[in-house]
Amino acid sequence: MVGEGSLKITCTNTDQEEAQEEAEVDYHGDVIDIGFNVTYLLDVLNHLKSEKITVSLGDANSSALITSGETRNSNTS
């Protein structure tokens, strides 16, 4: 879930184990609760050669665009 200045990541596995992590992010917009396929997400992150990424989101039902570097728009984290 991403909200004003905060990203909360929750992961679960088939054994019903859960982990949570929170991070400060540069995001200004409505709260969005969105899910990602972990295999897809890891594949994307492993190919980016930057310590900073930009995740552009429209809403919880739209595709996400993940890029490296400092690309920004109004709904970016």
pLDDT band per the 50, 70, 90 thresholds, residue 74: very low
d(Cα 67, Cα 45) in Å, to the nearest integer? Answer: 9
Domains of the chain and any CATH numbers: 2-68 (3.10.150.10)
Residue 23: per-residue pLDDT: 92
* pLDDT confidence of residue 11: 87
Report how far residue 54's alpha carbon sits from residue 73's, in angstroms, rounded to the nearest whole number: 9
Confidence category of residue 76, pLDDT binned at 50, 70, 90:
very low
Question: Are the C-beta atoms of residues 67 and 54 closer than 8 Å to each other?
Answer: yes
